Structure 1
Amino acid sequence: MTLNIGHRGFSGLYPENTMLSFQKALEAGVDGFEFDTHLTKDGEIVVIHDEKIDRTTNGTGFVKDYTYEELKQFDASSVFAGQYGFNYIPTLREYFELTKGMDLMTNIELKNSIIWYDGMEEKVIAMIREYGVEEQIVLSSFNHYSIMKCKKLAPELKCGFLDSSWLVNPGEYTKSRGVECYHPSFRSLDEATVAEVHSHGIEINTWTVNETEDIQRMFDLGVHSVITNFPDRVNAVKQGR
Structure 2
Amino acid sequence: MIKNFAHRGFSGKYPENTMLAFKKAIEFGADGIELDVQLTKDEEIVIIHDETIDRTTNGKGLVSDYTYEELCKFDASFIYHGQMGFNKIPTLREYLELVKDKNIVTNIELKTGILEYIGIEEKVWELIQEYKIEKKVIISSFNHYSILRMKELAPDLKYGLLSESWLINAGKYAHDLGIQCYHPIHYNLTPEIINEIKKYGIEINTYTVNKESDIRYLIEKGIDIIIGNFPDLTGELIKEYK
| TM-score w.r.t. length of structure 1 | 0.98
- Rounded to whole Å, the distance in 2 between the matches of 1:206 and 1:7 is 10
Are positions 1:172 and 2:158 aligned together?
A: no
CA deviation after TM superposition for structure 1 residue 79, in Å: 2.7
Identity %: 55
Is contact 1:209–1:227 with CA below 8 Å preserved after alignment? yes
Tell which deviates more after alignment, 188-197 or 173-182: 188-197
The count of residues paired between Structure 1 and Structure 2 equals 241
Q: Which residue of 2 aligns with 1:111?
A: 111
Secondary structure of the residue aligned to 2:135 is: helix
Are positions 1:236 and 2:223 aligned together?
A: no
Q: Deviations over 1:104-150 (max 9, x none)?
A: 11100001111110110000011001111111111110011001101
CA deviation after TM superposition for structure 1 residue 192, in Å: 1.7
Secondary structure of the residue aligned to 1:240 is: helix
Q: Which residue of 2 aligns with 1:50?
A: 50
Q: Which residue of 2 aligns with 1:80?
A: 80
Is contact 1:4–1:32 with CA below 8 Å preserved after alignment? yes
Are positions 1:194 and 2:194 aligned together?
A: yes
- Rounded to whole Å, the distance in 1 between the matches of 2:231 and 2:141 is 22
- Rounded to whole Å, the distance in 2 between the matches of 1:224 and 1:101 is 24
Secondary structure of the residue aligned to 1:103 is: coil
Secondary structure of the residue aligned to 2:234 is: helix
Q: Which residue of 1 aligns with 2:9?
A: 9
Q: Which residue of 1 aligns with 2:90?
A: 90
CA deviation after TM superposition for structure 1 residue 78, in Å: 4.5
Matched residue type, 1:67: T
CA deviation after TM superposition for structure 1 residue 180, in Å: 0.7
- Rounded to whole Å, the distance in 2 between the matches of 1:209 and 1:40 is 30
- Rounded to whole Å, the distance in 2 between the matches of 1:136 and 1:63 is 27
Q: CA RMSD in A?
A: 1.0
Which stretches of structure 1, 4 residues or more, deviate above 3 A after TM superposition? none
Unpaired runs of 5+ residues, structure 2, are none
- Rounded to whole Å, the distance in 1 between the matches of 2:174 and 2:239 is 32
- Rounded to whole Å, the distance in 1 between the matches of 2:91 and 2:114 is 20
CA deviation after TM superposition for structure 1 residue 239, in Å: 2.5
Q: Deviations over 1:43-98 (max 9, x none)?
A: 10000000000000000000001110110110000432311100000000011000
CA deviation after TM superposition for structure 1 residue 238, in Å: 1.6
Secondary structure of the residue aligned to 1:162 is: strand
